[in-house]
Structure 1
Amino acid sequence: MSPSSPVSADIDFLAELGLHFGGDDLITVTFSDGSSSTIKAGEFFALDLGVAWDMGNMEGRVTGGWKYDGISAADGKIDLSRYTHQFILLFKTGKWRFGDGYTYHFNVEVDGSGVASVADSEFDDALGWTAQTNYFFTENVYIGLVYTDIEYDRLATLGNSNKTFDASSIAFTVGGRW
């Protein structure tokens, strides 16, 4: 019987920026000039920080982040903000990574100010699924394509009725590890 060698994993910190597109229309604002702007439940900007561990032909990632979209006007503002947590397991082949995992969104809120203060809404925390593909330009810098499948359930508060919104999205990401 030969002694077994210990399994080792390299652990790196990572940061990722993403632009997300998709989801149901959450709120539409019509401006005084007749133009309008819409916040979709799955959009827009995301920042994630976390750790990645290299396990040979696989890689695991745990991240926490913040996702935001907003509309501003001279007399008011509406923000959609939520925090995210993800665990993803990826398979490595050359410079490519392919994988999936879960995503958890919490403190999902629409916050209105000024004349838009009636837009305030709160949502239940949500558990969803995410899949992604990354291409590494260097050992530490990558771009990616991410699909997220998740729904937000609006709470019946402040005159709003319960309603479920599809917050699924497709994102383009850029990330780095160190």
Structure 2
Amino acid sequence: MELTKIITTTTLLAGATLAHASNTHFGLQVGVASGGDTLGTVTYANHEQEDLDAGSGVFFGAYTLTPLNQNGLAMKVGIGYHSDDITASNGEASFFRFPIDALISQEGEKWQFGLGITYHLNPEYESSFTTHDLIKADDALGMIVEVNYKILGKRLFGPSLQLGVRYTGIEYKFHGVTKKFDGSNLAAMLSFTF
């Protein structure tokens, strides 16, 4: 039932986006996130430790921003790559996934607020310290809330450089592991809409 609602909502939003496709703007974003449950801990030769967390890492991606009306309401759809890794002399560990985002945003002259869903494809944790382990997780559905401030540009839907903060709420279920891992995070990001 819940999946049906999500598919219906996404289809309606995609239809609205296509209806306004001639006004669509494109953008690029990069950011750094922190948070989530610890997937693994690495102990270095000097006995210092570092955690690999399910929500942490760097991300980059591309998006479209399509106005839905003249008052600043828009549909933002993006795809990206989110990864975190730890490298030591005796091995490495990494966690990566491919997020697809769909948000409804309200844009003003300087601020943009967005709320939507994210779907993470092919989440994988890989470690090569004592043995080589590759543990895949199910694709995961989560939610996003973001706020962006235009540091350059102020026209509605015009070219702009934005500094933003994003909260993502999501959980991962790894194959062969009974516990779900919280991948929720808070991220700082830089976006450029052109």
Higher percent of residues as helix: 2
The 5 Å alignment of 1:57-136 reads 57-115=72-130, 117-118=132-133, 120-136=134-150
Aligned-partner residue type, residue 83 of structure 2: Y
Q: Is the 8 A contact 1:77 1:116 kept in 2?
A: no
1:155 corresponding residue in structure 2 = 175
Q: Is the 8 A contact 1:155 1:163 kept in 2?
A: no
Q: Larger Cα Rg: Structure 1 or Structure 2?
A: 1
Paired residues, number: 167
Give the share of equivalent positions with the same residue, in percent: 28
1:15 corresponding residue in structure 2 = 28
For 2:131 and 2:113, locate their aligned partners in 1 and report how far apart those are by CA, in whole Å: 42
What are structure 2's unaligned runs of at least 5 residues?
1-18, 154-159
For 1:10 and 1:141, locate their aligned partners in 2 and report how far apart those are by CA, in whole Å: 18
The 5 Å alignment of 1:25-44 reads 25-44=38-57
Q: Is the 8 A contact 1:76 1:116 kept in 2?
A: no
Q: Secondary structure at the match of 1:137?
A: strand
Distance 1:43 1:22, change over 3 A: same
CA distances 1:38-62 after superposition (whole Å, capped 9, x unpaired)? 0110011010112111332212111
For 1:116 and 1:67, locate their aligned partners in 2 and report how far apart those are by CA, in whole Å: 24
Q: Is the 8 A contact 1:96 1:134 kept in 2?
A: yes
Distance 1:49 1:20, change over 3 A: same
Give TM-score scaled by structure 1 length.
0.88
For 1:165 and 1:31, locate their aligned partners in 2 and report how far apart those are by CA, in whole Å: 24
- 2:188 paired with 1:175: no
Aligned-partner residue type, residue 62 of structure 1: V
Q: Secondary structure at the match of 1:69?
A: strand
For 1:137 and 1:33, locate their aligned partners in 2 and report how far apart those are by CA, in whole Å: 42
Q: Cα RMSD (Å) of the superposition?
A: 1.5
CA distances 1:113-141 after superposition (whole Å, capped 9, x unpaired)? 353524x3111110000000011122311
Among candidates 36, 45, 58, match of residue 45 of structure 1: 58
What are structure 1's unaligned runs of at least 5 residues?
1-6
Q: Is the 8 A contact 1:12 1:51 kept in 2?
A: yes
2:152 corresponding residue in structure 1 = 138
